[in-house]
Amino acid sequence: MTRTTLMTRSAAVLAMAGTLAAQTAAAQTAACLSNSQAQSLAVAALPDALSSARRACLPHLPAASALTRSSTKISQVYQPAADRAWPVAGRAFMAAVELPLPPGSDPQIIRPLLTAAITALIEQEIKPENCNAVEEFYSALEPLPPENMGKLLIALMKLDESSKKPGETSKNPFTLCKDSAK
């Protein structure tokens, strides 16, 4: 890759980061995601979310805990599933946050933005006192294939959404379509 191409891509990523930051607040009123799009996005986010949770909790968990030992599973199981899910997840993410790309752009260029956002969010949200619960959750779900974990995360998101009181703002980063066929 030439230096000019690298600089152009870097500039595009920085420009999109600014756009993404400005549009993240609008994501809740943006296009909704179908169940399959949301699941793809969840599966695509799993390796970064798990790695971030692992980093945040490593000092607070015993060496024998499932999350502490998860680095191999993350790279061998979750990352390949995330790579397979990314084409659908990338398009869904761009649509959900209404992120326009210049014509001919590869959606892969926004993947670092999504992973950086996930990492920052997880590491900001997980407190040391949450690590035992995170460990219990992960160890219970670890035997499931990543796609099933994605389905479960979307189901939990739906439960959270259905328990929301009228007028209460959603905590979910994306809106799920009411019509699951969308």
Question: Which tens digit of pLDDT belongs to each residue from 37-77?
Answer: 999 999 999 999 999 999 999 999 999 999 999 888 888 99
- Average model confidence (pLDDT) for the chain? 77
The answer to whether residues 68 and 62 touch, using CB atoms and an 8 Å cutoff, is: yes
In degrees, rounded to 5, the angle at the alpha carbon of residue 25 between the alpha carbons of residues 19 and 146 is: 90
For the whole model, what pTM was predicted?
Answer: 0.74
Give CA–CA dist 179/165, Å, rounded: 21
Question: Mean pLDDT across the stretch 136-148?
Answer: 91
Q: Is the dihedral of CA 39, 41, 47, 53 positive or negative?
A: negative
Contact criterion met (CB below 8 Å) for 175 and 154: no
Q: Are 97 and 103 in contact (CB under 8 A)?
A: no
Query: In which band, very low, low, confident or very high, does the pLDDT at 95 lie, cut at 50, 70 and 90?
Result: confident
CA angle 43, 45, 46 (to 5 degrees): 65
**pLDDT for residue 26 is more than 60:** no
Q: Which of 11-15, 81-85, 146-150 has the lowest mean pLDDT?
A: 11-15
Which has more pLDDT, 35 or 173?
A: 35
- pLDDT-derived band of residue 13, with 50, 70 and 90 as boundaries? very low
